Amino acid sequence: MATRAEAERARWPLLIGVAAFVFFADQMSKWWAVETLDTRIIDLVGSLRFRLALNHGAAFSLSQGRGPLISVLALVVVAILLRTGRQATRPLAAVALGMVVGGALGNLSDRAFREGEGLLGGGVVDFIDLQWWPIFNVADMGVVCGAILLVILSWREPEPADGDPGSDAGSDTGSTAGSGSAAGSGSGTDAGAESSPSRV
Cα 109–Cα 111–Cα 113 angle in degrees, nearest 5? 65
* DSSP 3-state percent helix, strand, coil across the chain (nearest 5): 65, 10, 30
DSSP state of 65: T
Nearest CA-CA partner of 10 in 86, 83, 92:
86
Task: Choose, from 126, 164, 172, 190, the residue flagged as catalytic.
Answer: 126
Nearest CA-CA partner of 71 in 144, 124, 24:
124
Asked about 162 being catalytic, the answer comes back as no
Calpha distance 200→184 (Å, rounded): 29
Give me the residues paired with residue 42 across strands. 50
With H, G, I as helix, E, B as strand and everything else as coil, classify residue 137: coil
Q: Residue 32 is which amino acid? A: W
Task: Choose, from 26, 110, 129, 140, the residue flagged as catalytic.
Answer: 140
Give me the residues paired with residue 106 across strands. none
Asked about 26 being catalytic, the answer comes back as no
Nearest CA-CA partner of 18 in 110, 96, 105, 109:
96
Cα 85–Cα 91–Cα 96 angle in degrees, nearest 5? 60
Catalytic site positions: 126, 140
